[in-house]
Amino acid sequence: MKFGKELASQLVPEWKEAYVDYEYLKTLLKEIQVSKPRNHPAQPTLKRRLTLYRAFSGLTQRHHTSPTEPTDIESQAILVNTVKRDGDGDRYETTFLMAADEGGGKELVYFRKLDDEFNKVVKFYKDKVDEVMKEAAVLNKQMDALIAFRIKVDNPQWHVAFDASGEITRLAADVAASTAVLSASTPSAARASRRVPLDKIEEDGSGRDGQSDESSDDSNKHRKEEEPIVLHNSQRHKPKSISGSRPAPLEILSRVTMNNTVETPRSTIKGFLQVPNQTELKFNRENLNKIQEQLKIAFIEFYHKLRLLKSYSFLNILAFSKIMKKYDKISSRSTSKPYLKMVDNSYLGSSDEVGKLMERVEATFIKHFTNSNRSKGMRFLRPKAKKESHTVTVSLGFFAGCSVALTLALILIMRARDILEKEGERTLYMETMFPLYSLFGFVVLHMMMYAANIYFWRRYRVNYTFIFGFKHGTELRYREVLLLSFGLSVLALGSILLNLDMEMDPKTGDYKAITELLPLGLVGLVTVILLCPFNIIYRSSRFFFLKCVFHCICAPLYKVLLPDFFLADQLTSQVQAFRSLEFYICYYGWEDYKKRQNSCKTNATYNTFYFIVASVPYWCRLLQCLRRLVEEKDVMQGVNGLKYFSTIVAISTRTAYSLNKGDHWRIMAGVASVVAAIFGTYWDLVMDWGLLQRKSKNRFLRDRLLVPHTSIYFVAMVLNVLLRFAWLQTVLNFQVSFLHRESLVALVACLEIIRRGIWNFFRLENEHLNNVGKYRAFKSVPLPFNYEEDDNKEE
C-alpha cells in the first residue's frame, strides 16, 4: 500500500484537516518533475569500469573516518531558519537557494507550502499537548481525592491515628520523590521510545491507530512497585521541596464535593424545582465503587487521547520524511537531511511529554484500577481491534438464502391456494394475518437500511462509533446487523408458512387456535431475546438500544444526547409498526384470533389509541426539543419542536379522515400535511443535512462533502421530497386494482422507512463534518469530584 493511502486510513478522521496535506504536496512534486529539463542519464557502466583500475586498498587496512567538514553554503539548496514570534511560538521558514535554476519557481512554491503545512502541524500538536497536560492536572486532583476517599472507607480509624506530620505525609513525600526521579529521565531515551515503525501501529475499530503494546511492556518491565500517582508535573523539584508543599490526602476531602454525574428522572425534577442536591461526601463502599468506575472510564478515554496524539506526531513526521525523499529523488538535490534535522529538533520531533504521560497513566491505572494486574490493565487501555468473523459471514449467507427460499415457497403456496384470487379469503387474510406479520417486515426493512448506512459510513470514514458513543469493540458491523435482520425474516417467514401449511391440512384443523398464536409467540420470542440479561446475541448493543428507548419514553426527564434523539427520529418512521402492535393487543386481547375475525376498528377504545399510538414518537421528539430549548437556550430547538407539533397535527387529521371519511376532515388533513411536509423537507435539507447553501463552493451543497459525486446529493434531495409526500395516498385515496388497502398502507410505510434510511446517512455525515470542523474527536467524561478552588476560579 502506498503511503498516501496508508496515511488516509490511519489518521484520526476528526483531525484530518490538521494533518500534513500529503496528496497536495505530491501534486506539487509532479509539477516540478514536469518542469525539470530532461537530461540524459550518465552511463553507469563507465563509472564501474573506471573503478576497476583504482589501486587496491588491501584487506587488512583500517579505514579512519575524517571529521565532517562544514558544508559550503554555495553547495546547499535550502536554509532552514527558526523565526521567533511573540505569542505564536516559533515558526519555521525554509529559504530555497536555487530559485534561479530552471523550474526553480515551482520548487520555491513547494517549499513555501511545505513550511505552511509543517507550522500548521506543529501548532496543532502543541495546542493538543497543552490540553492533555491541563487534563492531567485535573486527573491529579481527582486521584488525590480518590486515595483519600479510599482511606476513609477502608481504614476509617486512620484519620485519628495519623496527622499531617505522620505516615500519610511520608507517603506523599515518597510519591513526590518517585515522580521527580521519573521526570529526570533523559529526553533522548524518551524520544527514541516514542518512534516506532509504521508496521507496529495497530488499527482499532474506528480506523485509528496507536503504538503497539510490545514497546510499552518492555519499557515498563523493570518498573518499581511504588509508581507515582502524579500524572503531570510542569517543573522539576527536589523531593524535599515537593513533600513540604504537597498536602496530606485526608486534608483534600475538606475541599471537595461530589458531582452528580448520573442523571435520573428524580434529579431532573429536583433541578427543575430548584431543590439543592446533596453534594456532601458519604464514605461508604457503594460510593467508592462508583467513584472508581467513573475515574476508570476517564483514564481510559484520556489514555486513548494520548495514543492518538502520539500516532498523530509519528504519522506526520513520517509523512515529511517521505515527501522530502521524493523531492530529492525528483530534483536530484540533497535537502532531506537538513530539513528532517529541523523536523527532529522541532517541538513535534523532540517533545516527549506525551510519551512520559502515557507511562504514568499506565502505571497509575494498573496499580489503582486493576490491582497491579498489568495484562488486565492494558486490555482496558489498549483494547484490540474487533476482527471480522467468518462465522458471521457464513451465517449471514445461510439466513439470506433461507429467506429467499422461504419467500419463493410462500409465493408458490399462496398461488396454489389462490388466496389472492378468492375475495373472501383474500380479505380475511389481509385484514387479520397481514397486519400481524407486516410488523416484522417493517423492522427487517429498517434493520437492512441501517446495515446499508453502516457500510457507507465506514466506506466514507464517518466516525459513527464516536458519534453514537458506542463502547469500543462492541459496535455492530453491517454484516452483523444483516445477520440479525435475515434471522428475524427467517423466523417470520417460517411462521407464515407454518400457519398456512397447517391450515391446508384438514387433520390439524383442531389446532387452529394454536396456529393463530404463532405471530404472538414470535413477538414474545423477540422480546425475550431483547431483554435477555445473558451475554448472548450482542448484549451490549441490546442494552444500549434499550437504554436509548427508555430515555425516549421518559423524555424530557433525561438530558438529550445524540443517540436518544436519533433513535426517536427512527421511531417516527415506524408509526405503522406501532399500530401493528396495537392491533396485536386488540386481536389477541378480545380473542378475535379464535375465529380469525377483526372487530377492532369498530371498537371506540381501539380507535382512540389509534390516534395516540401514532403520535407517541413525535411527542417524545417534541419533548426532547423542549428540553434542549430550556437547557441550551437555542431558539432553533423551539422551531424544531414546532416541526414535530405540525406533524402531530397532520397525522391526527389524516387518521380522523381515514376513520370518518368526511370532506372537512379531508381538507384539514390535506392542509396540515402540506404544511408539515414542506416544513420537514426544508429542515431535512438545510438543518439536518446542511445543504442548499448559496455561498458554498459546491453549488447548493456544503463546502465539505464526503461523497465525491455531487449528483448523489441532488438525487437524495429529490427522493426526500418525493417520499415526504407519500402521504398523498392517504388523502387522495389512490386505488390500485391488484393491491389491497392494507398492502397500500404498508407500501407507504416502507417508503417512509427507506426515506429515513437515506436521511440517516446524510444526517450523520453532517454531524461528522461538524466534528471535523471543531477537531472534536473525544467525548467528555464526567468526573466524580468537584474542587472548591475550581469554583472560585470560574467565578
Nearest-angstrom CA–CA distance, 358 and 217: 12
Nearest-angstrom CA–CA distance, 376 and 366: 8
Length of the chain: 795
Residues 6+ apart with CB under 8 A from 216: 358, 359, 362, 378
770: left (phi over 0), alpha (psi -120 to 50) or beta: alpha
Residue boundaries of the structural domains of the chain: 124-256+288-385, 390-773
**Which one-letter DSSP state was computed for residue 685?**
I
Amino acid at 403: S
**Which one-letter DSSP state was computed for residue 72?**
P
Predicted local confidence at residue 176, as pLDDT: 43
Residues 6+ apart with CB under 8 A from 710: 698, 701
Where do we find the cell 406479520?
437
Nearest-angstrom CA–CA distance, 572 and 569: 5
Nearest-angstrom CA–CA distance, 571 and 694: 32
Beta bridge partners, 82, equal 92
Rounded-to-10 torsion of CA 565, 569, 572, 578: -70
* Structure-block grid coordinates of residue 113: 507550502
- Going by C-alpha positions, the residue among 130, 357, 298, 358 that lies closest to residue 778 is 298
- Burial class from Cβ neighbours inside 10 Å (0-12, 13-18, 19+) for residue 678 reads middle
pTM for the full predicted model: 0.82
Nearest-angstrom CA–CA distance, 349 and 211: 16
Contact status, residue 656 vs residue 665, Cβ threshold 8 Å: yes
- Using DSSP's 3-state secondary structure scheme, residue 69 falls into coil
- SS3 labels along 443-477: HHHHHHHHHHHHHHHHHCCCCHHHHHCCCCCCCCC
Contact status, residue 250 vs residue 350, Cβ threshold 8 Å: no
Beta bridge partners, 81, equal 93
Amino acid at 559: K
Nearest-angstrom CA–CA distance, 506 and 494: 20
N-to-C CA span, the chain? 54
Nearest-angstrom CA–CA distance, 306 and 133: 10
Nearest-angstrom CA–CA distance, 267 and 260: 9
Where do we find the cell 509539477?
31
Q: What's the average pLDDT block by block, 10 residues per block, for the chain (795 residues)?
A: 85 91 92 72 48 57 44 65 69 80 82 92 94 93 90 71 41 43 41 40 41 42 41 42 49 82 74 70 86 92 94 94 91 88 91 93 93 92 83 95 94 78 72 90 97 96 92 89 96 89 56 78 95 93 95 92 95 95 89 75 88 94 95 93 95 89 87 93 95 89 92 95 86 74 90 96 95 83 78 49
**Which one-letter DSSP state was computed for residue 688?**
I
* Structure-block grid coordinates of residue 653: 387529521
Nearest-angstrom CA–CA distance, 589 and 609: 14
- SS3 labels along 412-447: HHHHHHCCCCCHHHHHHHHHHHHHHHHHHHHHHHHH
Nearest-angstrom CA–CA distance, 323 and 47: 30
Q: What angle do CA 629, 631, 635 make, to 5 degrees?
A: 30
Nearest-angstrom CA–CA distance, 407 and 584: 23
Nearest-angstrom CA–CA distance, 707 and 554: 37
Q: What number of other Cβ atoms are within 10 A of residue 201's Cβ?
A: 20
Residues 6+ apart with CB under 8 A from 14: 463, 466, 768, 771, 772, 775, 776, 777
- Going by C-alpha positions, the residue among 602, 548, 599, 605 that lies closest to residue 571 is 548
Contact status, residue 647 vs residue 680, Cβ threshold 8 Å: yes
- Going by C-alpha positions, the residue among 354, 75, 414, 403 that lies closest to residue 216 is 354
* Structure-block grid coordinates of residue 261: 454525574
